[in-house]
Chains A and B, each alone.
Chain A
Amino acid sequence: MNKNVIPVGPFHPLLEEAEYFTLTVDGETVVDIELDIGWMHRGHEFISEQKTFTQSIFLVERICGICSTSHPLALVHAIEDVDNIEIPERAAYIRTLIGELERIHSHLLWLGLAGHFIGYDTVWMWAWKYREPVLEMFEVISGNRNHYGMMRVGGVSKDVEPAKISELAKNLDMIQTKLEMIAKAVNDDPVLKSRLKGVGVLTKQAAIDFCAVGPTSRASGIPADVRKTDPKDAYGMVDFKVIVLQNGDVYDKLVLRVLETFESIKIVKQCLDKLAENNSPILNDIKEIKPGEGIGRYEAPRGEVFHYVRTDGTNRPIRHKVRAPSYVNIPTFQASCKGIPIADALITLAAVDPCYCCTERSLKFIDINHDPLKYDLLKISREKTESFRRQINGL
């Protein structure tokens, strides 16, 4: 047979990031898929080892902006795991609140993008319209729409002002009713259903073999959810269900995400209630991190985020490993994309909700030469600070 190969990427409107697949096709049927990553590789693990833990939290937030609190949460879990640090109850609720709000916005984002990818821009616009209030809630809580900077080792950095809680709850109710409307519209759409049902099936066995996590695996019938199996923060104290569906196709992934959004709303409501009555401090200001190693994880909207840190007693890790959910979910394409038309393959690629940003963080190299890296603006500003300092010292 003649081999036709189609490259997808690195800049392809399918995803907002640079990614690169080569699809071998027969007509329009994908017979083989090859993945090439590294376009987003910025060396987070390496940078993190140059920064203090507190800085690292901000750094890992910038691993990826979509679920930008998952990585900080997993990192603080890991650091806390080194030294068995406890956090105050209020902090636990705030963490959970932020985490779940983020799940809502992230799932809505995916829902919208999925609509966009199959040319259904109306879904995109609607989903994103109601994602906006979630971002506003973030702005009320943390001051930022994204990259909230809320996590700290031992607690959180900002409190939820009690006066705002009722407003937030009201907002949430609004979102819920609107979401119910969208969910209904999406679920009842026969064209959408016929377009997505049975497309890009990831079997349970394949999900296990590829170690898939998060919605990708839950849609294939694997009931794994870090929030339940390793409840940190307030997850042990709130009531919620883990949604599991069986078919593993794109449609199930869609439904699963929609249902999960409602669970998240439930959790957020509980957190808000608890926050209204609880008055403990929000930060356990720890003094130092002992040498040791720790594992932290968190159920990001896309699945388990895994952080491993090893410390030597300074305020920096000596090894910081990040494993993002997409890192294990993306290879499942090899199982789910073969033998289906290009149009289906592309929506299947998107159904995993892959984010290459965090798939391609990574690694440190040991360098004894301290060769200075060259930078521009930052360097200039640092030099400026340095000269100020010298002047002050000189005085």
Chain B
Amino acid sequence: MGWYNKRLAKSIWVFHMSASPCNNCDIEILDLLTPKYDIERLGIKLVGSVRHADVILLSGVINQKVAPRVKKIYEQAAKPCFVVGVGTCPSGGCCFNDSYNIVEKREDVIPIDMYIPGCPPKPEAMIEGVAKLIGVLNG
């Protein structure tokens, strides 16, 4: 499916899922779309419905209340669908590890394919992450 993967790599529609983050990652994700970074030139587009998504950008430590919904949404996505954990939150829990309300193992809730650390990651870092994903897809 090399040909197909190349198409996928050139047309990544992202769905943005905030699972108890601090919002900053989300804002920076949106920032990616705006004039300075403009990831539309890489064919990346933000979509509103997870049915259309190829990549789920997950931000935030996942809390107990949102976890089942996160799981559900992932299941509802049309596969192939990748999950990118944006920020320190999904990768390490950031400073929320002491909390009683976050899930202990995020990977049980949603299989994260890639992490972009940083709190929040700089938009450049996110673009690099996306580029890596594209690289992987291109084989």
Any A CB within 8 A of the CB of B41:
no
Contact among A44, A64, A146 with B28 in the assembled complex (CB-CB below 8 Å)? A146
Given contacts A109-B27, A128-B31, contact A65 B98 (CB under 8 A): no
A58 touches B95 (CB 8 A): yes
Interface string of B80-100 (1 = CB under 8 A from A): 000000000001111111111
A320 contacts B by Cβ under 8 Å: no
Q: Name the A residues within 8 Å of B48 (CB-CB).
A: 12-13
Question: What secondary structure prevails in chain A residues at the interface with B?
Answer: loop
Question: 8 Å CB contacts to B: which residues of A54-85?
Answer: 55, 58-59, 62-66, 68
The answer for the CA separation of A147 and B96 in the assembled complex, in Å, is 15
A-B contact count (CB 8 A): 148
- Proximity string of chain A (5-26) to chain B, C-beta cutoff 8 Å, 1 when within and 0 when not: 0000011110011100000000
Among A158-166, A207-215, A344-352, A372-380, the one that faces the other chain is A372-380
Known: A16-B26, A63-B22. A129 touches B35 (CB 8 A): yes
- Chain A interface residue count: which class? 35 or more
- Give the chain A neighbours of B96 by CB distance below 8 A: 42-43, 47, 62
**Which B1-31 residues have C-beta < 8 A from chain A?**
16-31
Binds B, one of A33-41, A178-186, A219-227: A33-41
Q: Contact flags (1/0) for A136-179 with B, using CB distance below 8 Å? A: 00000000011100000000000000000000000000000000
Quick check: is B116 within 8 A (CB to CB) of the other chain?
Answer: no
B35 touches A42 (CB 8 A): no
B91 touches A46 (CB 8 A): no
Give CA–CA (A17, B58) in the complex, Å. 11
Closest B residue by C-beta to A135: B31
A355-B23 in contact given A41-B65, A62-B94 (Cβ < 8 Å): yes
Contact B66 A10 (CB under 8 A): yes
Contacts of A377 in B (CB 8 A): 91-93
Task: List chain A residues, Cβ under 8 A from B101.
Answer: 41-43
- State the Cβ distance, B16 to closest chain A Cβ, in Å: 7
Closest to B50 in A: A11
Within the complex, the shortest CB–CB distance from A60 to chain B, in Å, comes to: 10
B55 contacts the other chain (CB 8 A) = no
Does B138 count as interface, using CB distance less than 8 angstroms? no
On B, residues with C-beta under 8 Å from A are 16-31, 34-36, 46, 48, 50, 60-61, 63, 65-66, 69, 73, 91-102, 104-105, 119-120, 122
Instruction: Please list 7 pairs of residues, one from A and one from B, whose beta carbons are closer than 8 Å in the complex, sorted by A's number.
Output: A10-B66, A16-B29, A40-B18, A42-B102, A64-B23, A128-B30, A379-B97
